[in-house]
Amino acid sequence: MRRFFITLLFLGMLALNSNAYSLIPSFNDSGKNFYEDSPVPAIVIEEEVEVEEDAAWTYRFLIPTSVAIAVLVIIGNVIQYFRQVTRKRYKVIEK
């Protein structure tokens, strides 16, 4: 009796497995496209196209303006240094 149930269980599992594997296409039919007849999905997810955003006005205008101001400050400091320090360093003495 025990052997009968084991055999019946084995045959039942074999029948379930053969039904499950029968839906998978075989690799022997290489010329066919099995996914061509598949149904259309309920939700179509489209890939988003990345749009390059324009730089913010702060980035476009403030950074170049601050760089230009910094360059002008450095040039002004160099001019002021030579006008004040170099003039006082050497004095012309008349005889």
On whether the CB atoms of residues 75 and 67 are closer than 8 A, the answer is no
What is the Cα 45 distance to its own chain's centre? 18
Residue identified by tokens 């749009």 is: 51
Q: How many CB atoms lie within 10 A of CB 24?
A: 8
What would the pLDDT profile of 5-46 be if each residue is shown by its tens digit?
677 766 776 666 655 555 555 555 555 555 666 777 778 788
Q: In terms of residues, how long is the chain? A: 95
Q: Which of 2-6, 34-38, 69-73, 88-92 has the weakest average pLDDT?
A: 34-38
pTM above 0.85, yes or no: no
Specify the pLDDT at position 89. Answer: 77
What is the rounded CA–CA span in Å between residue 75 and residue 73?
5
